[in-house]
Chain A
Amino acid sequence: MGLAKFLIKRLLQGVVVTWGVVTVVFFLRYLTPGDPTATLLPPDAGPEVRQRLRENLGLDQPLYVQYYDYITDLVVLDFGESMSSGREVAGLVASRLPATIELAVAATFVAVVLAIPLGVISARRRREPVDYGATLFSLIGISTPNFWLGVMLIIFVGVHVDVIPTTGRQMGLRTALFALSNGSASELGQWAAQLVLPAITLGTYFTALITRLTRSGMLEELGQSYVTACRAKGLPETLTLYKHVLRNTLIPIVTVLGLQLGTLIGGAVITETVFAWPGLGRFLITSINNRDWTSIQGTIIVIGVGFVLINIVVDSLYAYLDPRVTAE
């Protein structure tokens, strides 16, 4: 089976899973106890008003009609109107997406840049102080709740360092880049500064996890005979480590990262809450507190489908790194 065929199969699976996600989200709403119109109307609204609203929302239709309408709307990206603000959910979700993506990418960047060298050094200097330090760090890192880390960073770092804002997002990357193109670089600095604490908060768990994986993977690979061959032919140690050993170690790392992406997205939800970061996660929490079902559905669908897409990308990357995957 070639790479193309593998990708097509994977995409088809993705479509089936997406359909499942959408269906689960549809039925979630019907598990909710209580009348959905209760949250939309004042308590003293009369039964006729209530009935009219039910008709307007299509809630008087049989379930399969509602399901059909829901799916056909979703296909054209119509998530309905927010029950609390009356605005289009699609627009609300889209406006919050960049903040979440910036945060997730920054955290992944922090994790990869720190963890891989740390894991390599730790494996290279096994049972030396640097290895014990890295092991301790990764143990604490995977055991620390990220929301608490965020709160600690705000209390102990944020208030003492004026350059780093502790809450909110003053500007997006687009604004910062626009300012840069007009010759002003300070916006880009501000943009980066506001990301520092949230990115550390979200990235620490992953830094710890990848350090652990890199270290154990490297240790396993270092025992292989090709390493001896590389060293015997006089290849510089750095080249042996980073080009040959690390590359083979990357395969299990990518697998685990793919499985753990859900934790990253879930972590983003709570990190956004701690830092008042106006992304999808904070929007989800606000919507749940407002019992705004259309917004909850829209957000969860976007997160679920985004997650399915990322996993397809990870699997393709995996297939590229390890051609054996496609040869089923």
Chain B
Amino acid sequence: MISERVKRSLSREFKGSRLAQLGVVLVLLLFLVATFAPFLALHDPTTTRIGTGGTEDLSELPPLGFSYTEQRVTPSGSETVEITARQTFPLGTNALGQDIYSRLLYGARVSLLVGLLGALLATAIGVPYGLVAGYFGDRIDDTLMRGADVMLAFPSLVLAIALVGVFRDSDVHTTTVPDPFVHAARSDIVPNVLIPRAAHVAEMPASFTFPVTVTLVVALVNWVWFARVARGEAMSVRAEEFIKAARSAGASDWRILRQHVLPNSLTPIIVLATIQVAAIILLESALSFLGFSGTDLTWGADISDGRSDQRSYWWIATMPGLAIVLAVIGVNLLGDWLRDALDPSIEGEGGV
């Protein structure tokens, strides 16, 4: 399906652009981290260490290379304690003593899954809608696109907030997804010698919470962009000679749409889908920052935690934000690469 010409222009653009290479590296890293989080994590990301029940208080440890002093009340008065970083908590801990590094790895799962599934769902809704509008034109187009205009009249975050508010109390707000690696490490089905660090993996959480409502909402908010692009493509493809040829050979509208219009509209849709993954990761982080996501193991929720803490614990909010920026830069650069290689005419913005 991928032609030689496309491969050539992708590789030419890739070799010539440092930014495209950086983008691919960042996205690969994001995929690896999200998939293999149980192997890479140093601790269970949900374990708290606030010093109750005789355990050591490890809350608000600074990242490696930093330290700070704190007044602590002791039975004999108060004393100044120096809090230093620990090797086993490289990026420090939050107010509950949870390991920030491990939380970042698990947060990548939610961001990436919501980003990919949200973009996929938005494509599945928007592309057929736009293709039908653009292919049939006239009254059908007018009606369908007025509907899309109404969707566009809501700023996406406002609509998303409203929809999450609506569906927040429903039963399917979140779902727990079992972690296959952890299950394999805990059971005897797969010999444990085949799993690297099996004992370590077995101690990780057996499942993670996936925000269903948020994924549906980001798709419902963003499908319109796919509809607009697909419509534009269908309008220009429909005028081509080969469509007339297909029609005169007796092909039905449905067949023409599927066999001819869709394949010829794919390039800009793929580019848009890539850029939308970045937009959806940002939207998801905003929703979880506001506390609407239903799970607290996400980058946005961790930023919100760090904000309510005292300002001297700067790393708690800083680290997850850096993770978001790197992930979104990676996906955006990947999108720029695809756009420059496949279709330089899309949406004016030229890269470097």
Contacts and interface: CB of A to CB of B under 8 A. Distances in A.
B167 A17 contact: no
Contacts of B147: 20
B227 to A, nearest CB: 14
Given A16-B146, A24-B150, A300-B162, A143 B325 contact: yes
Interface string A126-148: 00000010010001101111011
Interface residues of B, number: 46
Contact of B155 (A24, A132, A262): A262
Contacts, number: 152
Nearest to A144: B325
A139 B329 contact: yes
A145 B286 contact: yes
B332 A143 contact: yes
Interface in B115-168: 146-147, 149-150, 152-158, 161-163, 165-167
Given A151-B306, A213-B349, A262-B154, A285 B290 contact: yes
Contact of B154 (A34, A152, A285, A307): A307
Contacts of A239: none
Interface residues of A, number: 60
28 contacts: A13-B149, A16-B146, A17-B146, A20-B150, A21-B150, A24-B154, A139-B329, A140-B329, A143-B278, A145-B321, A147-B285, A147-B286, A147-B289, A147-B303, A148-B321, A155-B311, A156-B314, A213-B348, A216-B348, A220-B348, A263-B157, A266-B156, A267-B157, A269-B157, A269-B158, A270-B286, A296-B165, A307-B153
Interface of B: 19, 146-147, 149-150, 152-158, 161-163, 165-167, 169-170, 278, 282, 285-286, 289-290, 300, 303, 306-307, 311, 314, 317-318, 320-321, 324-325, 328-329, 332-333, 348-350, 352
Given A143-B278, A148-B317, 20 more contacts: A17-B153, A20-B147, A21-B154, A24-B154, A28-B163, A34-B169, A140-B329, A143-B328, A145-B282, A151-B321, A152-B317, A154-B311, A155-B311, A220-B350, A262-B152, A270-B157, A274-B307, A284-B162, A291-B165, A304-B154
